[in-house]
Structure formats: C-alpha cells, structure tokens
C-alpha cells in the first residue's frame, strides 16, 4: 500500500476544518437569534410593567393620563409633548402614555 501524498492529507484537513467552522458559525448565529428574542421579550415585559405602574400611580395621585401617538398622521399630529433633556423642568401634571403599533387594534392607523 502506497502512502498518501501530502497534498491529499492537507486538502482533507482543510475540508474538515472548514466544515467544522461552518457548523460552529451556524450554531453561534442561531444562538444569537435566540438570545436576542429572549432579550426583546424581557425588555418588553419590564417596559409593560413600568407602564402599568406609571398608570396606577398617576391615577392614585389624581393626575391626568393622556394617550399619545406620535405616529398619528391626522390634524393633531405633533411631536411628543414633553421635552427630554438634561436640566429641563419635568412636568407631572399630565402623564403621556403611548401604545406600540403592534398592540393596536388597527396597526395601520
């Protein structure tokens, strides 16, 4: 039996290492997608809880709660009514709450 030429051995090693790298990349890619979905769910659930707490505390304090949709394209379309910047006065007479488009009954509005 004649020994294998080094070129064939080298080609086999390159092919196996390439296949292993492709499998590892696909596994990493799939895992990163799963982690992103979990992170999106977690941040969404925390945001939902915070919004509910804000509504409850505003109602208990007797503050006015206003639903606000900055993507509304009708006559009343305006920028967000409160300005968010450092050292700006934070008004607490009204609480503005928005609803994400995917939770709306008619998301195309």
**Average pLDDT of 41-70?**
80
Residue listed under structure tokens 């006559």: 75
Domain boundaries, the chain: 1-62, 63-109
Is the CB of residue 95 less than 8 Å from the CB of residue 68? Answer: no
- Residue 109 pLDDT exceeds 50: no
**What are the residue ranges of helices labelled H in the chain?**
6-60
β-strand partners of 66 = 96
- Residue 52 pLDDT exceeds 70: yes
Question: What's the whole-model pTM score?
Answer: 0.41
Both tokens assigned to 15: 């092919």
- Residue 60 pLDDT exceeds 70: yes
- Residue 36 pLDDT exceeds 70: yes
Which whole-number Å values give the CA distances from 28 to 1, 5, 17, 43, 78, in the listed order?
42, 35, 16, 22, 43
Is the CB of residue 68 less than 8 Å from the CB of residue 51? Answer: no
């Amino acid at each position: 039996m004649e020994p294998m030429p080094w070129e064939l051995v080298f080609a086999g090693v390159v092919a196996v290492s390439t296949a292993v790298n492709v499998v590892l990349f696909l596994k990493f890619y799939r895992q990163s997608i799963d982690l992103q979905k979990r992170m999106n769910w977690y941040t969404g659930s925390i945001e939902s809880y915070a919004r509910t707490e804000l509504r409850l505390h505003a109602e208990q304090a007797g503050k006015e709660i206003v639903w606000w949709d900055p993507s509304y394209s009708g006559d009343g379309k305006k920028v967000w009514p409160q300005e968010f910047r450092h050292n700006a006065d934070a008004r607490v007479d009204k609480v503005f709450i928005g609803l994400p488009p995917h939770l709306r009954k008619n998301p195309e509005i």
